[in-house]
Amino acid sequence: MIYSTEGRGRLYDNVLQTIGDTPTIRLNRIAPTGVDIYVKFEAFNPGGSVKDRLALNIVEAAEREGRLLPGQTVVEATSGNTGIGLAMVCAAKGYPLVITMHDGFSVERRQVMRMLGAKVVLTRKEDKAVGMVVKARELAEANGWFLAHQFETKDNADIHESTTAREILGDFDGKPLDQVVLGFGTGGTATGLGRVLKGARPGLKITLSEPENAALVASGTAQARNDDGEPAASHPAFAPHPVQGWTPDFIPLVLQEALDQGYFDGVQPVTGAEGIAMSRRLAAEEGILAGISGGASVAAAVKVAATAPKGSVILAILPDTGERYLSTPLFDGIEAEMDETELALSQSTPGFTY
């Protein structure tokens, strides 16, 4: 292998200019024989996830349109990745940030946001995502803060239409791409990709994935909303699941466009256990340290590949880094101390024995 030593060929004025242009990587050991699976690894964004894109666009679109005033506090509800992205953006631009997040999400997410200068207001996990959304709206209304509205704003899907989708077209320029497989959190990636890829590649299929025990889209049951498009109640098909960042307890308004416009061709369910197992395989067999949502996306892609024609090319989206899951079941059984084999290796030579 020849390694590049020329850098990116430019200097950056701030960290926000490094968002996007994430790599697409071929899987060499996990993909079934006769099918190529690639992954777009969004952990290469500076905040470690795909949500850096929407965080930047929400803030900059609001600045351009006068909806966000200089020095105004930004507030948003998040499972963590959008909050981290917003904390990075707000730190770089000088805005105070308040995040609402229920206490069932990994603690390292709170710590990272606080490290970046945000305040994190916790709600109870029993109140699910709807509870943290309502709390964010209450705080915005009570204090005159700017509510980011990641689940409802047009700025979310717009950034994936203008960047993520174009990057995929560029990566596969002149090359086959038959299927794209991804889950949904806010729905911005699915909607933005659907707008572009369906027109640019008419034969391409997009498969949406969701947890088997929280099959909101597959249920066919409409989401109850208030006049602002926010969830009026939890979706009846929701049940708690371990795929953090995927499938809140409601169908986001941003995703509704993809459902209404037919941007996807099918739904592939996966279990939480399958997502965790595949995340571990990605790390151990491909050297790719992705979160549970990334593992779930690849698990869904492998299921799609099982019935795909020979020679098919499939792309899965990996939303974030596995380091965001240290306190979750993803790292269960992975100890900080030496196991028996490691201790025996330490004691197998005379020097510096532990």
HEC secondary structure over 232-273: CCCCCCCCCCCCCCCCCCCCCHHHHHHHHHCCCCEEEEECHH
Q: Choose the catalytic residue: 49, 106, 234, 293.
A: 293
- Residue 81 Ramachandran class (φ > 0 left, ψ -120 to 50 alpha, else beta): alpha
Supply the pTM of this predicted model.
0.95
pLDDT digits (tens, 9 = 90+) for 137-153: 999 999 999 999 999 99
pLDDT digits (tens, 9 = 90+) for 81-100: 999 999 999 999 999 999 99
Confidence of residue 353 (pLDDT cuts 50, 70, 90): confident
Name every residue whose Cβ is closer than 8 Å to that of residue 302 and which is 6 or more positions away in sequence.
Answer: 30, 31, 32, 37, 278
Give exposure, 306-335, as e/b (b: 16+ Cβ within 10 Å).
Answer: eebeeebbbbbbbbbbbebbeebebbeeee
Which residues make up the CATH 3.40.50.1100 domain(s) of the chain? 15-45+163-331, 51-147
Q: Choose the catalytic residue: 51, 135, 198, 205.
A: 51
Q: Are 294 and 282 in contact (CB under 8 A)?
A: yes
346 is annotated as an active-site residue: no
User: What are the distances in angstroms from CA 350 to CA 119, 339, 340?
Assistant: 51, 19, 17
Task: Determine the topology of domain 15-45+163-331 in CATH.
Answer: Rossmann fold (3.40.50)
pLDDT digits (tens, 9 = 90+) for 35-92: 999 999 999 999 999 999 999 999 999 999 999 999 999 999 999 999 999 999 999 9
Average pLDDT over residues 160-188: 98
Rg (CA), the chain: 21
Q: Output the average pLDDT for the chain.
A: 96
Give the pLDDT of residue 89: 98
Whether pLDDT at 1 is above 80: no
Task: Determine the topology of domain 51-147 in CATH.
Answer: Rossmann fold (3.40.50)
293 is annotated as an active-site residue: yes
Whether pLDDT at 289 is above 80: yes
Give the pLDDT of residue 2: 66
Euclidean distance between CA atoms 281 and 294, whole angstroms: 11
Name every residue whose Cβ is closer than 8 Å to that of residue 165 and which is 6 or more positions away in sequence.
Answer: 192, 193, 195, 196, 197, 200
Starting at the earlier edge strand, list the strands of the sheet with 74-77: 119-123, 97-102, 74-77, 146-147
State the amino acid at position 81 in one-letter form.
Answer: N
